[in-house]
């Protein structure tokens, strides 16, 4: 017997010419113009995605994330808003932490992005774990992600 795959698209502010490849879960978020969302993506509330940004399949973007314009988010990228600092899950939304991704940021597949700030013009290598703010333009990779070299 086939399972029915249900989409949940609720209270989303869509810009012009957005492309959404279902199935997806999008709720209480804002998408700019010319945004592409691949299949099996979940985007939570209070997320803002800038113009001309592409989000690849199997990516999870938790609440309180802001992504700039002209960004690329690879397949299976995971964002988190709780560091589990006290050894427990924090269910209180007001205590969740924010993430801000600048413009022209490329995040490779299977990267994990903790609650951080990333400046404009950064490349994050596939599989990297970003645990601290990135304040300098360039290429970063590893676990934890470290600066490798400038962009050309």
Catalytic residues, by residue number, are 58
Find all residues with CB under 8 Å of 79, minimum gap 6, and list them: 60, 61, 62, 65, 99, 112, 113
Phi, psi (rounded to 5 degrees) for 47: -95, 135
Q: How far apart are the first and last CA of the chain?
A: 53
In whole angstroms, give the CA distance from residue 95 to residue 91.
Answer: 8
Give the dihedral sign, CA 18/46/54/8. negative
In whole angstroms, give the CA distance from residue 18 to residue 54.
Answer: 10
Residue 74 CB coordination number (10 Å) = 22
């Amino acid at each position: 017997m086939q399972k029915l795959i249900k989409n949940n698209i609720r209270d989303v502010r869509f810009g012009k010419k957005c492309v959404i490849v279902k199935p997806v879960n999008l709720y209480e978020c804002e998408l700019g113009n010319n945004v592409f969302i691949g299949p099996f993506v979940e985007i939570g509330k209070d997320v803002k995605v800038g113009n001309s940004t592409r989000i690849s399949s199997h990516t999870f973007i938790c609440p309180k994330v802001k992504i700039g314009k002209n960004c690329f988010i690879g397949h299976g990228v995971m964002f988190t808003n709780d560091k589990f600092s006290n050894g427990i899950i924090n269910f209180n939304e007001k205590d969740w932490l924010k993430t801000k991704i600048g413009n022209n940021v490329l995040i490779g597949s299977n990267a994990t992005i903790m609650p951080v700030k990333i400046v404009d013009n950064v490349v994050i290598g596939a599989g990297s774990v970003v645990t601290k703010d990135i304040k300098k333009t360039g290429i970063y990779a590893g676990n934890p992600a470290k600066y490798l070299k400038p962009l050309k």
